[in-house]
């Protein structure tokens, strides 16, 4: 009887195309498209040397880029794209001090095309430094900001084209699609909890009892909470959306309601905790609460992940002899 039900579920879920096209287009693709739009708006503001508007557009770009990053699974569809996000964002991916390098570039006379030869010089992190600590109307600063934003835009376009070119692999196997999606969520949640919150709040292993707001991802521009909220909102798009068949619905079909409901509850708690936080709240109780709820979220993802390995949650025959 159980097998029969499993087969019925399988047929039903294939019938409605599981975590399928609708999700892919409405979340993954739509988020990349809006990030590209944000880069275009930012380019306009930079061209006008309008510092206020550029700073605002930068905040929007942070938010839309984090959305792309949160569901980034293109590297699993085609390994040529594994490293693409690192050309846009070097948070925790690079130890070098790009600030002093960027200062040197600003103060030198070398052509920008050769001076900014490193990938790290053209990332969102470099852009933040330029836009928020330098004088935008300054021609060289403006050119650098333009160069970086255009580079980000071109990588985002590459991502968009990559998704379109390799989307069939996502639709082909539901098992694989949900596996890579879950992997992205798990990895993203670890980084959220440990790097984006824990390191700042002094709750991570690395910075135990040494809270410091300057460690926040976008400490210079004050966009760190903005980024975190975008990440959490995107996770809600994946596991708790009323608009299309999402990952949560699939889990429920396979009788993992309890596990996915736990994840949703932890996610909702995190969203509530984050919504009341400002950039300076990492180091107080609010930061601690966010750390705890994102930690719960991570664990519940891991539990869902293990439930996919049916035999792991089963106690088998006492196979003695």
Partner 1 sequence: MEINPFEYLMNPHKRIYWIFLLSSLVVAFVFLKCHPKQKRIILSKKLWLHPSNLLDYGYFIFFIFFKVMVILPILMSAKEVALFVNITLLDQYGFVRIESFSYIQIMALFTLSVFILSDFTRYWLHRLLHFVPWLWEFHKVHHSAKVLNPLTFYRVHPVESLLFGLRYSLSIGLVAGVFIFLFGSLVGIYDILGVNLFAFMFSLLGSNLRHSHIKLGFGNIVERFLISPLQHQIHHSKNHVNTNFGGFLSTWDYLFGTLTLSKNTTNIKFGLEKMQMKNFQNLYGLLFSPFIAIYNQIKDKNFMLYFVTMCKLQRLKREQQ
Segment interacting with partner 1, rule: CB under 8 A, options 141-149, 160-168, 177-185, 242-250: 177-185
Decide: is 296 part of the binding site for partner 1 (CB under 8 A). no
CB-wise, 44 or 206, nearer to partner 1? Answer: 206
Q: How far apart are CA 260 and CA 256, in angstroms?
A: 6
Selected from 112, 179, 219, 236, the binder of partner 1 by CB under 8 A is 179
Decide: is 308 part of the binding site for partner 1 (CB under 8 A). yes
Closest approach, Cβ 14 to partner 1, in A, equals 18
Q: How far apart are CA 246 and CA 237, in angstroms?
A: 8
With beta carbons less than 8 A apart as the criterion, state whether 122 and 116 touch.
yes
Q: How far apart are CA 309 and CA 258, in angstroms?
A: 16
CB-wise, 111 or 312, nearer to partner 1? Answer: 312
Per-residue x/- marks for partner 1, 58-77, CB under 8 A?
-----------------x--
Q: How far apart are CA 125 and CA 81, in angstroms?
A: 20
How many residues sit close enough to partner 1 to count as binding (CB under 8 A)?
37
Decide: is 205 part of the binding site for partner 1 (CB under 8 A). yes
Closest approach, Cβ 18 to partner 1, in A, equals 15
Decide: is 222 part of the binding site for partner 1 (CB under 8 A). no
Q: How far apart are CA 289 and CA 246, in angstroms?
A: 27
96 contacts: CB under 8 Å, gap ≥ 6: 120
Selected from 4, 52, 79, 114, the binder of partner 1 by CB under 8 A is 79
Q: How far apart are CA 301 and CA 182, in angstroms?
A: 7
Alpha-carbon separation of residue 163 from 28, 123, 134, 159 (angstroms): 9, 21, 35, 6
Which residues sit at the interface with partner 1, rule CB under 8 A? 75, 79, 82, 175-176, 178-180, 182-183, 186-187, 190-191, 194, 205-206, 299, 302-303, 305-321
């Amino acid at each position: 009887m159980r097998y029969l039900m499993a087969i019925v579920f399988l047929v039903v879920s294939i019938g409605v195309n599981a975590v399928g096209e609708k999700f892919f287009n409405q979340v993954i693709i739509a988020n990349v498209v809006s990030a590209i739009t944000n880069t275009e708006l930012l380019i306009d503001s930079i061209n006008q040397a309008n510092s206020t508007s550029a700073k605002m557009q930068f905040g929007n770009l942070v938010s839309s880029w984090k959305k792309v990053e949160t569901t980034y699974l293109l590297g699993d569809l085609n390994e040529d794209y594994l490293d693409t996000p690192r050309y846009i964002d070097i948070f925790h991916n690079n130890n070098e001090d790009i600030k002093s390098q960027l200062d040197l570039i600003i103060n030198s006379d070398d052509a920008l095309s050769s001076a900014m030869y490193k990938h790290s010089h053209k990332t969102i992190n470099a852009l933040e430094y330029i836009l928020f600590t330098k004088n935008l109307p300054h021609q060289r600063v403006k050119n650098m900001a333009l160069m970086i934003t255009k580079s980000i835009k071109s990588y985002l376009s590459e991502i968009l084209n990559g998704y379109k070119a390799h989307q069939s692999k996502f639709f082909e196997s539901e098992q694989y699609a949900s596996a890579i999606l879950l992997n992205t969520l798990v990895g993203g949640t670890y980084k959220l909890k440990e790097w984006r919150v824990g390191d700042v709040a002094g709750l991570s292993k690395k910075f135990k009892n040494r809270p410091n707001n300057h460690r926040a991802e976008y400490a210079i521009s004050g966009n760190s909470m903005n980024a975190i909220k975008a990440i959490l909102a995107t996770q809600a798009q994946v596991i708790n959306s009323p608009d299309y068949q999402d990952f949560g619905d699939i889990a429920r079909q396979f009788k993992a309601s309890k596990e996915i409901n736990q994840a949703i509850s932890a996610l909702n708690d995190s969203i509530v905790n984050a919504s009341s936080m400002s950039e300076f709240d990492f180091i107080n109780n609010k930061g601690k609460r966010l750390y705890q709820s994102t930690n719960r979220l991570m664990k519940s993802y891991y539990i869902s992940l293990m439930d996919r390995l049916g035999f792991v949650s089963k106690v088998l025959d006492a196979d003695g002899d």
